[in-house]
Each structure stands twice: as structure tokens, then as C-alpha cells.
Structure 1
């Protein structure tokens, strides 16, 4: 899989951007608040239909405009296809080759992306909700159907919580119906998470052993909260029965408190080091090594399961890693052959991931412009059996024009491998103000009609925690 072209219009603080990425590394350099992260988020949103950072859909639209649009042209299994997404009036609309997408499966069509942000490095010492989000992003990458499945659960949870707030006046028949729906959809979430962890954990543990600087073994685990250990390996039907029993057993308490206290929305990922909680006992460097091990394992697991490497998005991660671990990450990226998008405030931190065909960009005030390549950028190590990429003269590497309205078209003059079939082997949040989210007028885009609106993600099992990203969910089930 390879991204051949990306366009973004009025996405957060970006004006109009058009670029043809390098088949290997594309690097955006700029100070904080200029739009580097927004560029990565545009690509992430295109590939997943979910914002990379928390917020409502309206926050994705540049202030003073009515709608945002992102499109990308991909090479997938030797064929080109274009997907695009528009946001206006709090609604997202998705298209494939210019036509309204009929389903999530048609839209995604094999597109896969892994993002790595400074927020991820705080996951170990953060709260359970951060780790659930971290886990569920990986589950979605591995199982795209999880987007709909998690939405089904979130909808059922939201409806049950709404009824629980009625307290003793809540209709028991409605609660029975919600419990059954919640148990079925919750069991599916459990099964997806469990399957992902079975694949991912051994790889992550092996990577941590190489970079953790400790003899203590790392363990990445997941088990449904409030369910006995005996349910760790049972089938989906039995899990649904167990969750239904747990919901019934906690109904009185849930009615008193006004929210659902059991289910996958309250689970946690167990990260231990030497048998002790990594959150409590691991050093900051070890905690970040745990996350780095996870991300590298996620990339390798997707390559093994899908047969190709996902797109990799790294948002200023190098500035948060110590030199040794950053060198490990940059070396891994250079040797992997993956198509990588990196942002940084300091170009020297990512030189080792660059190659002769790297596309360098400057980002300032929501506008993107060509940047001369770093003179000491290292070469990209070829994979076994491959030839190094043909050198591209520095004077011909970049080509771009910036219009008055801020449109930039960037592309390698003759990108290595362009048009060829891709290889088979191939912050807590920093805050939206750092990258200029710019609110939006919530008016409907004239071309944004039909389509579908995917899930906001799993809701929290606490008061007001069952809200999504501004989309309306369905009402109560039939009796």
C-alpha cells in the first residue's frame, strides 16, 4: 500500500495543501502551533474517519469556513483508488472514487495507518481511558469492522445510561432489552480486544526486551474487569452470558449511580514490569520504552496479517525520546521500507530516517512549502534482497508552488518507485491550541449529502462520559 497524493482544504488551520509524498519518508518541520500535527491528522482522519485528537467534528473545520475536505490517492494491490471525506455542519461524508461510499468496508478497502504521538508516550502513567483508546486504535487497525462494532456498543451504553438516570422510575422491560443488547455487543468488543492482544503482546514484549535497559520482563495484558479469570478464554456466546449476569447483578447499584459500572468501557490494559505495575514502578524511560515496543509490534503485526506495511505517522515523537531510543526508532523506520510521515521542530532529530528521496517541507501558519533537504541526512538501509533507492539530485528533489491563498503542491521530481507496485515486505493532550484547531460555523457543505457517519468510539461508563463526537445516536429499543 502506498499513498500517491494527498490534498487537504480548510482542515483545522490548514488552508489548501496538495502534495505527492515520498514513497519512504515525508518530513514536515515547523514550530509548535503552525499546523504540523494538523497535516498528520488530516491523513489519519482520511484513513480512519476518526479525529486523531479528542474533539467534535466541527473543530476539524478551519475558522471562518463552512466545510473541510481531505482526499488521498492510494496504490493498493497494484490498483489506484481515491478516497475522500468532507466535514460540514457536524456531519462527515465519505466517498470512493468520487462516489458516495456505500459501506465502511468499501471505504477503507485495505487502507491502514498507525499513528504515534507524544500523547501515546504518556499512556502508561495515564488513566484507564487513555489505555482503552490506545488499545482500541490498534484493534481497529487490525480489524476494521471494529469501528461499527464499537459504535454498536457505544450506542447501547448511551441508551442504557440515559434510562438509568431515571432511577427507580426506569422501566425494567427497557432495561432488560438494553442489558441484552449491551451484553451481545460488549462480548464482541471483548473478543476483538482479546484477539489483538494475543497477536500483539509477544511482539511488544520482545521489542521491549531489546530497548528496555532492564532484565525485568514486560507483560502486556488485557482481561475484562468484573469478570472471573475463567472467562479469559471462553467463546463469545459465553462471554455475552457472563456480561449479562454481571449487568443484572449491578443493576440496583447502577440505578443509584445513574451509569453503567460494568463492561468493556471500564476495562484496562495491564502493563507490568518484573511483575509490578509499570505505572507505579517503571521509570519514565521504561514507560516510554513500553509504548515504543507496543507501536513497533503493532506495525509488525499488521505487516504479518495484511501482507503489507501500514502508513506510519509520527508526530514530533523524537523530541520526547532519549537519544538512544530515538536512534533505535529512526533506524527501524529507515530499514523497514515503510512509507512514513514525520513532524518535528528539530530536523536533526529525524535525519536518520531520511533518504535521498525524502520530501522535506516547512509548515508555517497553516501553509506548507518546500524545504531544502538536510545536508547530513542518512541513507535508507535497503531490506534484504532489495537495491538501494536511486539517488535523486538535490536540486531536483523538491518542486512546489505556494499560491497567495496558501495552496502548496509538493512532490519529488522523480520519486523512486512512483507508479510501481508497492513492495510486499515491505501529549495528557498538548491541547488543540497548540496546532490551531480553529472552530467552525456548523453549516452543511453543499456537496456533503448522503454518506455515512462512523462511530465516535467507546463511551465512558461515568456520568456524561457516554457522549460521542456530536453525532446523534439511535433511541430506545423496541419492547
Structure 2
């Protein structure tokens, strides 16, 4: 075929393809509307149909940690997972977090999620959200995880982070306050990402640019300012977006913290999230980062790594104006973590109109009477779905719907 005819053929092929795609899309929409009229899943919910909360309806596990086979319905209100220590309560909570957040909360290796002696584990969940009932299917193998959402492969977890929002309370969360700067940056970024999922990709792109710049800096005398200019530009551009989102979230956080402390009778305590820049801030954040990178190039080359940017900014918590990581008592730190989590719940509800799922792992054993009261008051005001683990179900005050699950050696008995 002559070249000119091939060109015309390609154009006609594209036109036909686009026409057929539009026809198929139209048919799908008509079919979906028909299902709606017949009582099928809500694929196109209007405002009146939107769910006010995310709810895990059912969970199935196969060869997950110490669970061989498990199939459990869950309910609205309070779901108490109780039993002796080392029976699998936290493993069950982790599976709930995995199916909702599509990643484990413990930072565990994939091989650790698979039951000993097995090749793979399977986690399935049915989650009710604003767009109807969703099915999540996760296969875990040593070499990786494969996730499907409503029968479609999820290629980027970051695109779905926050879709089924979960707020997690762990005993180790005190490290948010008492731990290093990285822990506080990570916590703030996780909250931002739940509201703005694009933040996750920007964090990855930013870290990639920093890693490339650091690689060039490692060449020492062979590197010049010109050779890192491309990475400087990416760090400045992406970094400005990251910083801007962090600052906006901190403003919202501080408003919520004041509300929470005031409502729980601690209006005399001033709690704030602070943000310290690793560069001299100007009206144009991108330009300020760009200038700082240029200014610090000689010292960065000596050190072999990048010393300015969002990855070096300082996120802190202040109690009555003092650095909580240095001056807060253990009790004050636990109180601050509770207030942060309560604020996180309110922030997500404010931004999305939806209540998240709340997960608490053996948190009551870490609290004194006053702080348990603080926690239980927060729970009594929360209208979403809650999962709590405990060695004693009777220590959890009953509120509204109360459902208990006894865990014993990887087996679960509902209603016990």
C-alpha cells in the first residue's frame, strides 16, 4: 500500500475506534441506569444517596498470618475483638487495615503476612462507601501483592489511598510525638494524602529527584551546579506543592486540636502543630527552595546529600508553647496522640463528608483512668464503624450497636 494511503487508513482506523468507544460507553451508562432502576449497585449515586460513612461489611482470610480460613460479617457501630494475648487480635485488625488501605499498617514484609508453610495468602473484603458496595481482593506472595478493586487490577495503590479511609490507633503511636522528625513528617503526610491522594505520587516523585541529586553529589569534584540543575528544578517545583499542602493541613489541624482539647475540659492546654523550614521562606516557595539548593550546593557536595527541602523540614508538636518531644510527660504525650487522632477523624469528615473506619489496637491498656475517659468520650461521639481489640471486652463501654468477636488461636467466634 502507498505511504499516503497507509496514513489515510490510520486516520480512518482512529475515527472508527473513537466512535465505537463512545458507543460502548453509552451502552454501559444505559445498562448501569437500568440496574439502578432494578435495585442493582449504585454506580452513579446522587447527593441524597451518598453514604455518610465507610463500612466494612465482610472479611475473608485464607492463610493470612495465623488464620487458615476465616469468613466474618461485620456491623455498624462498635465491633470488639477480644481474647488472650498472642491469639491473633492484632493480625485481624491488620487484615482489616490492609483490605481498606491496601497496605499493612505494620510495615511488615509480604512473607510475614503469609501463613507459615503456605505459598500465598488471600484477603477479601466487601466495603460499603458512597459509590455502593465495593469488593477488594488481595493476594499476598513473598515476591509481592496483587490487588483488585471491583474485579479490576489496582496498578497504583496511591491512586486509591484514602478511598476507604481508616484512622488507626496503635500503642506505638506515641512515637509520633516522642520519635524523630521523620516520624512526624510521615504522619503529617499520611493525613494530607488521605484527603489529597495526589500527594502520595508527589512525595514519590520528590524523593526520586532527591535521590538522583544525591547520586550526582556523590561524584564529589566531578559534579558542577549545572549537572544538578534538572533535579534542582524538580525538587523546587514538586517540593513547593508538598510544603503548601502541609501548611494548609496544619492550619486545619490546629483548629481541630483547639476544639478537641476544649470539648474534653482541657481548654487551659494549648496544643499546636508547628512547621519549621529548612530554607529561608519567601512568598514564592519554589523559588525559595531553588535559591537554597543553589546556595547550599558546595556544602551538599561535601556531604554527598541534599540538606534543604521538604524532606528536611521540621514538623513539631507544641504543648503550651513547649516542644512536646522534649518536655511533654508520657501522659501528656498520650493525650496529644488521642487529640491528634480525634482531630484527624474530624478533618476527614470535614473534607469528604464521610466518617472513616476507626481501628484501635489494645489502646486502653496504655491509658490511665482520665485518658480512658477521654478516649471513650471520643468514641461515644463517633457515629462511624469502630473496631477495638482488648483482652477484656467488659472494659469497653457499650454504646449503641455492640458486637463482640472472641479470638482464640486463629479462630474467631462471633457473639462470644
Q: If the TM-score is normalised by the length of the shorter chain, which range does it land in?
A: 0.7 to 0.9
Which of these residues, 120, 124, 128, is aligned with residue 75 of structure 1? 128
User: Is the counterpart of residue 348 in structure 1 residue 402 in structure 2?
Assistant: no
Which of these residues, 252, 255, 266, is aligned with residue 298 of structure 2? 252
Structure-1 separation of matches of 2:305 and 2:86: 38
Q: CA deviation at 1:115?
A: 0.8
Q: CA deviation at 1:45?
A: 2.3
After superposition, the C-alpha distances for 1:211-251 in whole angstroms (9 at most, x for unaligned) are 475724222222433333xx4xx4xxx22221122122222
Query: What root-mean-square deviation, in Å, do the aligned CA atoms of Structure 1 and Structure 2 show?
Result: 2.5
Q: Could you say if the C-alpha distance between residues 284 and 68 of structure 1 is closer, same or farther in structure 2, counting changes exceeding 3 Å?
A: same
8 Å Cα contact 2:158-2:200 kept in structure 1:
no
Give the 3-state SS of the residue equivalent to 2:64 in structure 1.
coil
Give the 3-state SS of the residue equivalent to 2:67 in structure 1.
coil
8 Å Cα contact 1:201-1:220 kept in structure 2:
yes
8 Å Cα contact 1:23-1:339 kept in structure 2:
yes
After superposition, the C-alpha distances for 1:288-336 in whole angstroms (9 at most, x for unaligned) are 1111111111101111211120011111111112112212212321332
Q: Could you say if the C-alpha distance between residues 57 and 184 of structure 1 is closer, same or farther in structure 2, counting changes exceeding 3 Å?
A: farther
Name the residue aligned to 1:136: 189
Q: CA deviation at 1:202?
A: 0.8
8 Å Cα contact 1:313-1:340 kept in structure 2:
yes
Which of these residues, 103, 106, 119, is aligned with residue 66 of structure 1? 119
8 Å Cα contact 1:212-1:290 kept in structure 2:
no
- Trace 1:410-421 onto structure 2 (pairs within 5 A): none
Which of these residues, 159, 169, 187, is aligned with residue 116 of structure 1? 169
Which of these residues, 375, 391, 396, is aligned with residue 329 of structure 1? 375
Name the residue aligned to 1:149: 202
Give the 3-state SS of the residue equivalent to 1:65 in structure 2.
coil
Name the residue aligned to 1:241: 287
Q: Tell me the TM-score normalized by structure 2.
A: 0.79
Give the 3-state SS of the residue equivalent to 1:19 in structure 2.
strand
Structure-1 separation of matches of 2:351 and 2:146: 29
8 Å Cα contact 1:333-1:353 kept in structure 2:
no
Name the residue aligned to 1:305: 351
Give the 3-state SS of the residue equivalent to 1:122 in structure 2.
helix
Gaps of 5+ in 1: 373-479
8 Å Cα contact 2:136-2:147 kept in structure 1:
yes
8 Å Cα contact 1:44-1:113 kept in structure 2:
yes
Name the residue aligned to 1:454: none
8 Å Cα contact 1:114-1:141 kept in structure 2:
no
After superposition, the C-alpha distances for 1:262-309 in whole angstroms (9 at most, x for unaligned) are 222222322112222222222222221111111111101111211120
Q: Could you say if the C-alpha distance between residues 91 and 169 of structure 1 is closer, same or farther in structure 2, counting changes exceeding 3 Å?
A: farther
Gaps of 5+ in 2: 1-53
Structure-1 separation of matches of 2:215 and 2:85: 40
Q: Tell me the TM-score normalized by structure 1.
A: 0.70
Q: Could you say if the C-alpha distance between residues 144 and 16 of structure 1 is closer, same or farther in structure 2, counting changes exceeding 3 Å?
A: farther
Which of these residues, 137, 144, 157, is aligned with residue 91 of structure 1? 144
Q: Could you say if the C-alpha distance between residues 239 and 9 of structure 1 is closer, same or farther in structure 2, counting changes exceeding 3 Å?
A: farther
Q: Could you say if the C-alpha distance between residues 363 and 168 of structure 1 is closer, same or farther in structure 2, counting changes exceeding 3 Å?
A: farther
8 Å Cα contact 1:205-1:293 kept in structure 2:
no
| Larger RCO, structure (CA 8 Å, separation 6 or more) | 1
Name the residue aligned to 2:268: 215
Structure-1 separation of matches of 2:61 and 2:199: 26
